[in-house]
Amino acid sequence: MREHKYRVWDIKNKEMLKPEHIELSWLPDGCLLVNGDDRVFEEGTYILMQYIERKDKKGKEIYEKDIIKVRQRIDDERGGYYLGDEEIIAVCDFDYENGCITWEPQDSEIIGNICANPELLKEIK
Percentage of the residues of the chain whose pLDDT score is greater than 70: 73
| Residue 39 pLDDT | 87
For the chain, the structural domain boundaries read 6-123
Question: Please, which residues have CB within 8 angstroms of residue 57's CB and are 6 or more apart in sequence?
Answer: 106, 107, 108, 109
User: Does 72 or 115 have the greater pLDDT score?
Assistant: 115
Task: Give the mean model confidence (pLDDT) for residues 27-46.
Answer: 87
* Entry pTM: 0.78
Sign of torsion over alpha carbons 10, 13, 15, 20? negative
Please give the average per-residue pLDDT across 18-22, as a whole number: 82
Residues 71-81 have pLDDT tens digits of 766 656 665 55
